[in-house]
Amino acid sequence: MDSFSKIAGNGVQYRKLYTSDYVLDEAITTCRRRTGSHELSVRLGTDILASKSIVMLKVDETTIQESWELYKRRDDVKLSFTDATCAILAKAHGIANIFTYDARDFRPLNLNVISGL
């Protein structure tokens, strides 16, 4: 069973899973771009938004400013701006574990990277 199936079926060891509105945007856009399917991207967005196991964190003005400062400061890491917002949100909400396939982006930020659930 892959990670996404486990998340969908509440088969993960974590009580809460967090994402952000920026990650939702990236996920829906990437899904449509890679599959060419509007239907699949809508289903993905609907599943994430309706999930009882996923908490949606919002990127506010403070998060944008702090993320921008992190992004500018860390030219040594191939960090996207969305990754910077995730790191700032994680720190702000006491989240230590990041589920990602981009370990190289988050490990230098002292976040524990989990690449499989």
Distance (Å, whole) CA 64 – CA 84: 9
Output the pLDDT for position 65.
Answer: 98
Q: Which pTM was predicted?
A: 0.79
Domain ranges of the chain: 16-53, 59-117
Residue 75 burial class via C-beta count within 10 angstroms: exposed 0-12, middle 13-18, buried 19 and up = exposed
Q: Residue 2 pLDDT > 90, yes or no?
A: no
Token reading at 44:
């993905």
Four-residue CA torsion sign, 23, 24, 29, 34: positive
Q: Which residue has the higher pLDDT, 51 or 59?
A: 59
Distance (Å, whole) CA 21 – CA 86: 10
When pLDDT is cut at 50, 70 and 90, the band that residue 3 belongs to is very low
Residues 6+ apart with CB under 8 A from 100: 106, 113, 114, 115
Distance (Å, whole) CA 62 – CA 24: 19
Q: Residue 1 pLDDT > 50, yes or no?
A: no
User: What are the φ and ψ backbone dihedral angles of 64, each rounded to 5 degrees?
Assistant: -60, -45
